[in-house]
Each structure stands twice: as C-alpha cells, then as structure tokens.
Structure 1
Amino acid sequence: MKSFALTALALVAPVQAGLRFGCSSLTIQRLDPVVEPGHAPSAHLHHIIGGNAFNATMTGDVGSRGTCTTCEMAEDFSNYWTAVLYFKHPTNGSYHRVPVTNNAALARGTTGGMTIYYTQFDFNKDNVKTRPIKAFPPGFRMTVGSPTTSTLSQAKGHIGLRYNCLQTLINRGAEMADFPDKPCPAGIFTVHHFPACWDGKNLDSPDHQSHMYNTITRDGFTDAPACPASHPVRMPQLTYETVWDTTKFNSLWPAGTPNPFVWSFEGSSGYGTHADYMFGWKDDSLQRAMDKDNCFYDGCGSIKKQAMTVANKCTVPDMVRENIDGWVDHLPGQGPMQMKKD
C-alpha cells in the first residue's frame, strides 16, 4: 500500500477528496467493546484514540454521548484502536511496551496517537454524483484483520494491512505483510485499511466484518471498484496509520537474529495485525465532509477543528488498573494480572 503522510501536502487539489487528521492517544487498556463487549479486562492490550465515551460496553449513538475527543476534528467522537506493540528481549524473554510517536505532518501538539483518513475514493476522484458516499450511521462498528492469522498467504489476503521499516518519517521503504527483519532507523509504521462497501442493513455482524466488503484487490490508496449487489452502499474508505518508536530497542536486537517485536496477543509473526472501529461523529458532520468535492484535510471547512492542546486534555478513566509499563515477564492477559500501585 502506498500511504501518504508529508507527501500528501503536494497532491493536486482536483484529484483529492476526503479527510486526513491526527488524534492523540486516549488510553492504553485491555478493553475491546467490539469483540469483547462487557469484558474488563479483555484478552489483550489495545492502543485507543478518539472520544471519551469509550468504555467496556458501547452501544447506540456514541457521538451523542461524547464530551471531548483526542482528535483534531472536534466533532469526531469515534474510537479507533489496534493491538499494542511489544519488544520481547532476545536473551531473557521479558517484554517492554513500545511507545507510539507522531507521524509526519500532523497538527502541532499531537501526542502519539494515529493518523486517520476518511476518503471518498481514496486519492483518485471518481464521479461523486453517481457514486455518492454515505457516512457510517450511529451504532456502526467493524474490524479488519484477525489475531488468529498465522500464515503469509492469509496475511496477503488482508488487503491494506501492512508494515514499513521507516528510514525517516518520510522515507518509508518497501511495504511488508510481516514485521521487518532488521532494526528500523525511525521506527515501525503500520497501516490498517478498512473496506468501504456496506450491506446497508447491519450495524455489525457476528465476525464484525461480514457486513462490509472490500473491492480493492491490490494494496494502496487506489480508487476501489464498484460495490457488489450484496454490499451496495459506498462508505468512506477508512485508514489508520501508526508509528511505533522501536528505535530505543534497536541496540538490544542482536545482528542476524529473528525479529523480536510481538503484538500484545503474542503471535509468532506480524500476520495477526488488526484494528477496530466504533463510529461516533456528531450529527451529520462526517456526511458534510463526504459531500464536499475536491477537498482534503479539513473537508473545506465543513468540520470544526480544535487545537491539539485542547484535544490532549481529553481522557478516560483507567478501568482495568493494570500495570503495563516497564519490563514485565509476561504480556498483559497472558499471566497473573499485575495491578497498578496507588
């Protein structure tokens, strides 16, 4: 997948449409209201951004309940989350959580978090009038990828879930379906690209994916083919980008040894990368942006933005009270629970 960060600034206006913005980190906890609603804690640790309605159980109109958000777009109370990256010490087998750092070209003051895209037809303008974009409805949720993915052939089937070994934040190098096999000078970059065709009926499905359909057959921010009759409604093409600051662990990775990074669900490779989404935009704010043509970043002023100094004040309670910092002998959820000290 060719993803765009700083280079997106140079795109020519007539062929771009959609949103690109940053969200600071909201919380890192073992909660997953899509896959494991009501479980506190969930099976593994997640890095979460977005609105403060986030909780172990989330139903209905999330946007109507949010009172603050870590996103630059002030009307976006959605929640976005992925598994958390860990470094596994090659000598003693202990684990250390990898921090998230800023992507390129985000608003000043963004703290960690992710870059979020909502694009009509990615970066290639199509006939918007004959292929209108419908914003996600209240209560909508979905996932991409699966922690149970264990082979390269399966991983290649998850179009748009990829890694880059960053040389700099701008020079990303080749894309890979698995973790890099050598230390990365500027960190590990992950992309989660969601499908854009909806069945028009279900806000969710038992596997959290069947109500959506991906017509893109190759990686990239490319114009997706028409939606099939089974999933006829074109939705925004949603993408997350996350930069994991693995640089502080490079000196602990012996030359010629296997990749020492693992996701918070462990796994033997990076094939199990996955992400969750819970829609929570206020009222018709996302639809207003999707109705705009030839716009990028801010929806041509259709959405209210906030300073990241304001966004960074948004928090949620620590509902699990689990120690996730420093060196630990097992991943959270895979051994005795280590509680935080008051």
Structure 2
Amino acid sequence: MKWLPLAYLAGSGYAALRFGCSTITVQRLDPVVEPGNAPSAHVHQVVGGNAFQAFVDPSVDVGKVANCTTCIFSEDKSNYWTAVLYFRARNGSFKRVGQYPNAVFHDGQKGGMTIYYTQESFTSNGKQKITAFRPGFRMTVGSPTITTLAEAQGYKALKYTCLDDILTRGRETFELPKAPCPAGIMAIHHFPACWDGKNLDSPDHQSHMFSTTKGGFQIADPCPASHPVRMPQVAYETMWDTTPFNDPALWPEDGSQPFVWSTGDTKGYTTHADYLFGWEGDSLQRAMDSDCFFQRCADDRPGGVLKIQTPDEQNACALQRRTVEEDVDGCKFLPPFVGRLDGSGDN
C-alpha cells in the first residue's frame, strides 16, 4: 500500500502535524530512563532541541532552555530519540546504518526522523479537546529488555516496514525484515495518547499514559476513566538506509538478517522510543486548536500558526558539547552492547 498525496489526505477537520527533524546527536545518553548516566546503556539517535544532555531537570521548561532545534518548526525544542541500527559484518564488526529524510520534505534535512502529532485521525479529533503536553512531561514506549515476540506484540504500534520505495506503507512486521529491502527499513513508533491528567512522568515512564492505538494511523479507541485526558498522538518514522548493505555477499553465510539494534537485539523486539516535551509557550496547543494540516501549519502558509525555519537554520543547531566521546559509527562492540566501544571495524 502507498499513501495518497498529502493533498488528498487533508480534510476539513482538525490539526495534524508532520515534520522532519535532522539528527542533533548520536551518543549513549538517555535523560529519561538513565538521567545523569554518561554513558547510558546503549547508543541513541536524537533529534530536536539543543538542551539535550545526560540530565534534564524535570522542573525546567526545556522550551525556554534550548535556543535552537533541528526540527523544521522552530518553536519545537522537544527531544525525540530511539536506539541506533547497526549492520553486523561477517568479520564481527559493526557499521552504523544511516538515515534519510521521509517523503514530501524540503531538501536539506540531515538524517533524523519524521515526527507526527495527530488527533483522532488525520481529519478529526473525535469532537474532543486535545490537550497539549506540559513543561516537564516525558514518556517512553517499548522496552530495551524485551526478548520474545509475544512481549513485542504487546506494543502493537511499534513495527517495521520493508520499503520498496520511499512511499511504501503497510506490510508492517514486529520483527526486522529477514531479506534485503530495496529502499531501506522504516521503524515506526506510536506513543500512547491518553494521560492520567496528573503526572508528568512515572517510575516506568509509561504508567501515566495509556495506549488505545490500534497501530498505524487508525482511529484510536476512547480513553479510559483512569487516563481520561486525550493528548496528541505522537509518532516517529525513521527511514534507515540499509541499501548499502543489500549485497547478499555481505550478509551472514547462513542467510540470517544482519541488522542489530544498539541494545544488542537482532530480532527487532527491543525497538523503543523516548519523548521529552519542549515546545515553546502555547505553540503546540495553538496548533492543536487550529485546523492546519502538516506542512501547511507553517506561518508562511495561509492559516498556518507555527514558526518555520530554513534547512540551513535547522542543520546549524548543535549541542554545546558532546558528553560521551566514543566511536559510534564503525566499531566492535563488547557484548551485550553496554561496555565501552573497543576500536573500529570495517566491512
């Protein structure tokens, strides 16, 4: 299945955001799950504001602390991150898989991800008020400790698509594709959108939220009484460019798939994502209260309500300093991917 052009998706309903963010850093930091640890247990690829560091104080408004973002909407200083995908060569070395921009984006995005904020669907909020996240809010979805398919299926909105081309959709799987994909692998992360209305975080970073999503961009079920507040449906799409490794001669001699998450997982079960809210002021609420759609939410378009920046401005945003200095691009990892990185490797 392929998506229709965006013009056919837009209706007369409610706001939906879809925008690209360039990579701001690739390193072992996780201020949500492992605050203060440098390094954290495994490597992450991160997009968004430049306030990202080993510890991000929950009492601080990130939208005020960060002074730039790698996202096209300049008021979004949030951070979004997932684990990193690697190719394991026959000689045991690893190479980081690159990322490329999604379809229908401007030229210039460097790596990164596609970020979505939707409501009930692309054209409706189900006649509900959509409440924007608050400063200090954070959440995760998925788990780096999952070891079975049954556990992975408990997160029905975390899947993969083997891409025939950049517009391929559907044919989602809970496991990494077992054969070369012509245009790479898309990793998909949909977060829960029902909030308990009280807690900006929880000990497991998930219990303050409840998921009623059915996967994909299908209309979600109503929120339960325990989590009655409908918030935006946040989703990530990461386009992993596995095409440089599609030569069967590079794959393991037994034919097994050679891609591995930075968690050490070769099945795909540990796919997970973190979200740390950082929109400036009321900008996200302003967007959710509007009827703007995707790129037309930019204030240089009729009806647009969000400030937009140029690709050069987007890509100029950088962290003030790198916290963990190590080779994360081509390396030999010490099992189980939690020790120091030991040297570099080639295919």
Superposition TM-score, scaled by structure 2 size:
0.91
The offset of 1:334, in angstroms, is 3.5
User: In 2, Cα distance between the equivalents of 1:174 and 1:137?
Assistant: 35
User: In 1, Cα distance between the equivalents of 2:8 and 2:252?
Assistant: 39
Q: Which moved more, 1:151-160 or 1:26-35?
A: 151-160
Coordinate RMSD, CA, aligned: 2.0
Matched, 1:160 2:157: yes
Corresponding position of 1:189? 186
Secondary structure in structure 2 of the residue aligned to 1:239? strand
The offset of 1:202, in angstroms, is 0.5
Which amino acid is the alignment partner of residue 155 of structure 1?
A
Secondary structure in structure 1 of the residue aligned to 2:273? strand
User: In 2, Cα distance between the equivalents of 1:246 and 1:27?
Assistant: 20
The offset of 1:21, in angstroms, is 0.5
Q: Judge conservation of contact 1:24–1:114 (CA < 8 Å) in 2.
A: yes
Identity %: 55
Matched, 1:237 2:236: no
Corresponding position of 1:48? 46
Q: Judge conservation of contact 2:161–2:186 (CA < 8 Å) in 1.
A: yes
Corresponding position of 1:206? 203
Corresponding position of 1:302? 305
Secondary structure in structure 2 of the residue aligned to 1:13? coil
After superposition, the Cα gap between the structure-2 partners of 1:156 and 1:101, relative to the gap in structure 1 and judged at 3 Å, is: same
- Structure 1: give runs of 5+ residues left out of the alignment: none
Q: Once the two structures are superposed, what CA deviation does each residue of 1:234-277 show, in whole Å capped at 9, x if it has no partner?
A: 10000000011111111112576111111001024101100000
- Structure 2: give runs of 5+ residues left out of the alignment: 298-302
Q: Judge conservation of contact 2:212–2:221 (CA < 8 Å) in 1.
A: yes
Which amino acid is the alignment partner of residue 248 of structure 1?
P
Number of positions where the alignment pairs a residue of Structure 1 with one of Structure 2: 334
Secondary structure in structure 2 of the residue aligned to 1:288? helix
Secondary structure in structure 2 of the residue aligned to 1:82? strand
User: In 2, Cα distance between the equivalents of 1:158 and 1:138?
Assistant: 26
Secondary structure in structure 2 of the residue aligned to 1:280? coil
User: In 1, Cα distance between the equivalents of 2:217 and 2:336?
Assistant: 34
After superposition, the Cα gap between the structure-2 partners of 1:146 and 1:3, relative to the gap in structure 1 and judged at 3 Å, is: farther
Which amino acid is the alignment partner of residue 325 of structure 1?
D
Superposition TM-score, scaled by structure 1 size:
0.92
After superposition, the Cα gap between the structure-2 partners of 1:338 and 1:93, relative to the gap in structure 1 and judged at 3 Å, is: closer
After superposition, the Cα gap between the structure-2 partners of 1:258 and 1:166, relative to the gap in structure 1 and judged at 3 Å, is: same
User: In 2, Cα distance between the equivalents of 1:181 and 1:256?
Assistant: 12
User: In 1, Cα distance between the equivalents of 2:241 and 2:329?
Assistant: 15
Corresponding position of 2:122? 123
Q: Judge conservation of contact 2:19–2:294 (CA < 8 Å) in 1.
A: no
> Which among 162, 172, 175 is matched to residue 178 of structure 1?
175
The offset of 1:126, in angstroms, is 3.9
